[in-house]
A and B are shown apart, each in its own frame.
Chain A
């Protein structure tokens, strides 16, 4: 495995399966009365968050702490040359503090690539701009495998703002590596050009796709897309690309419904769908901690997982 986890595309099939299998073992820790392992004792993990994301930050923080790492949370304002500290200077500061791992969340695509050139520790991409979010894809794959028993050959439909979605990019790459069949669905304004070069199918028609789906993943519609004329109105978006009870009824019986959160209930997903038994939204959050534990453990080179 690479020293860093920056793109889901950097993971071989064996790497990905090793992370998922390790996460399964580590998940058992969560069931113990004392949810803690000594494996990363003495290691320092910095959560470097240039974007507010309490959910992702506390997930990484819980993962690192359960492995007994020292955790430093570093919240920074979006960097620019004109004002504030540059990303490079922040990187040099972390380097001076001896960070073994840096978990970075940043509004600029590629920020983790730049950081990796400036620090010696491992860099974990916790979401960079509109590029990737590889641990989200790993926790999604973990969740699918737990619910449906496999990934190979499963039909996964990802619905919504593909253009700006780091979740979609990482999921397409990882699910392709794990031999699932991905179809992207959304209004044409929110699909990137040149999608024909991506390893997945594309459709504008959600109703036609839903019956041929084992896993449906609904993406959050960001407020700024609503204001930026990508679609005529939130209601029209919801009618054409939202998952309501009627559409959910078209899914095969075994199919599951996923959402990376935070959800806009009533927009891309109806409240009743979000809370349905086939919805995995809450499991995804729990699985996120296990998967991030596995990533930190494998990248930072901890000891053997105690039986």
Chain B
């Protein structure tokens, strides 16, 4: 890179990047869009980034994260969370509604949306609560959130399941008016009271209350049938079992409008890690078995599962430095998501880079109705993109993160890849692997 001040308003020339892992091309970025794409592009006065050996991907889109603001700014803020997201290659993230106060009104979703604009690291799309206070009793004002400045299209009580069948039916029906989608956290509460770990060999041996796969699968099956009945859109959050995959595959074969996501941690980690009783491995839904991991990978590869979503869930250290049973559920995930997907999907030959683009950018953008994200890198497209070096391997260093929390299960693991740069509408949020 040549010297001189650079930032908003600068024209950038990215040379020699392999677009989505395919052909080498140059990208000229100007006025927030990709002005030119092709061989031997040149422009006098442009800042040049030599991207030889790097892959250029459309900016990643996350359908599922927790930014904790308002209310738990000790664990994360919109600014710190989105800084971590940018370092992970994301240009758009959805922020779940379980803040304090809950994002169940136009006021709260507009606050979160505005905090995202102010921080400027990536676009923040608030997810609206389905029910008031996430209590599962009365619908929140979904229409008001949809009409707000935040233009909410994804609604979820994530962390809680909308378990009442009639309420779920009403929610699915109601959001058809503005082409919204209900993102369900599938967890049958009666089957998971006090549950701690996937019910199986490990939960039995460790004496941790079992969390059966059927508690997830039964709700998914019911909701697929409800979505079909009312002709609405259903999105399944963090699918974690082989049985869930089978049900979603069946629902899709019927032509029903069901989409699904999987987290990076469910693609790589298993419940055997709980043997240490270290709550860094405690997450909802729980880590499952190697057979589940294999089924999830296969489903992401064949498109049954549409996308990868991080479920980035930061927690202050005292919520994890405890006994397993009292610890909080959740793991951070922005900065490791693409690296984990490379390890679990690309290195194994299950996905090529075009497939990664589809599952981590194009499809999540489509599910969330994000017009300015997830588009192919060609002339005229918004300049939301990530430069990624797939050739390096390094240990995950949790201490380096701008996130306020350190609860990553990948700390100390050696993973491939490094995000070199991220651009949000032509402005770099990350350069040379550091916040710009």
Contact = CB atoms under 8 A, between A and B. Distances in A.
Contact of A109 (B201, B207, B328): B207
Nearest to A192: B204
A195 B207 contact: no
Given A108-B325, A128-B207, A113 B277 contact: yes
Interface string B416-432: 00000000000000000
Interface in A151-208: 163-164, 166, 169, 192-195, 197-198
A140 to B, nearest CB: 18
Interface stretch (B71-79, B132-140, B314-322, B398-406): B314-322
Interface in B352-411: none
B319 A194 contact: no
A132 B204 CA distance: 11
Contact of A108 (B200, B321, B323, B328): B323
Contacts of B210: 192-193
Interface in B316-344: 318-319, 321-326, 328
A277 to B, nearest CB: 34
Contact of A86 (B276, B277, B321): B321
B324 A109 contact: yes
Interface in A110-166: 110-111, 113-114, 128-132, 163-164, 166
A279 interface: no
Given A192-B203, A194-B200, A87 B322 contact: yes
A80 B204 contact: no
A130 B204 CA distance: 9
B325 A81 contact: no
A166 B207 contact: yes
A110 B318 contact: no
Interface in B180-209: 196, 199-201, 203-209
9 tightest Cβ-Cβ pairs between the two chains A and B: A110-B277, A131-B207, A192-B204, A108-B323, A130-B207, A109-B207, A194-B201, A108-B325, A113-B277
A106 B205 contact: no
A55 interface: no
Contacts of B321: 86, 88
B326 A169 contact: no
Contacts of A88: 321-322
Contacts of A194: 200-201, 204
23 contacts: A81-B318, A81-B322, A81-B326, A81-B328, A86-B322, A88-B321, A106-B323, A108-B323, A108-B325, A108-B326, A110-B277, A110-B325, A111-B277, A111-B323, A114-B322, A129-B207, A131-B207, A164-B207, A166-B207, A192-B203, A192-B204, A193-B210, A197-B204
Contact size class for B? 20 to 34
Given A81-B318, A81-B322, A110 B206 contact: yes
B203 A114 contact: no
A264 interface: no
Contacts of A163: 204
Interface of B: 196, 199-201, 203-210, 276-278, 318-319, 321-326, 328
Given A113-B276, A131-B207, A132-B207, A80 B201 contact: no
Given A79-B326, A110-B208, A114-B323, 13 more contacts: A109-B277, A111-B277, A113-B276, A113-B277, A114-B278, A130-B209, A131-B206, A164-B207, A192-B203, A193-B199, A193-B200, A193-B201, A194-B204
B240 to A, nearest CB: 17
B206 A109 contact: yes
A223 B292 CA distance: 36
A220 B278 CA distance: 30
Contacts of A128: 207
Interface string A63-99: 0000000000000000111000011100000000000
A77 to B, nearest CB: 12
A81 B319 contact: yes
Contacts of B277: 109-111, 113-114
Contacts of B206: 109-110, 131
Interface in A196-234: 197-198
Contacts of A164: 207
B169 to A, nearest CB: 29
A166 B277 CA distance: 16
Contact of B207 (A79, A169, A197, A198): A169
Contact of A197 (B201, B208, B276, B319): B201
Nearest to B325: A108
Contacts of A195: 204
B323 A110 contact: yes
A193 B325 CA distance: 20
Given A81-B319, A113-B276, A193-B199, A129 B325 contact: yes
B204 to A, nearest CB: 3
Candidate in A79, A86, A166, A194 with the most chain B CB atoms within 10 angstroms? A194
A87 B323 CA distance: 7
Nearest to A165: B207
B232 to A, nearest CB: 35
A80 B326 contact: yes
Nearest to A129: B207
A129 B324 CA distance: 11
Contacts of A109: 196, 206-208, 277, 324-325
Nearest to B193: A228
Contacts of B326: 79-81, 108
A169 to B, nearest CB: 6
Contacts of A169: 205, 207
A169 B325 CA distance: 19
Candidate in A107, A109, A169 with the most chain B CB atoms within 10 angstroms? A109
A79 B323 contact: yes
A129 B194 CA distance: 13
A108 B277 CA distance: 10
Nearest to B323: A108
A3 B204 CA distance: 25
Nearest to B324: A110
Contacts of B196: 109
Contacts of B203: 192-193
A74 B203 CA distance: 30
Contacts of A130: 207-209
B407 to A, nearest CB: 13
A253 B328 CA distance: 53
Nearest to B317: A88
A111 B321 CA distance: 11
Candidate in B206, B207, B319, B322 with the most chain A CB atoms within 10 angstroms? B207
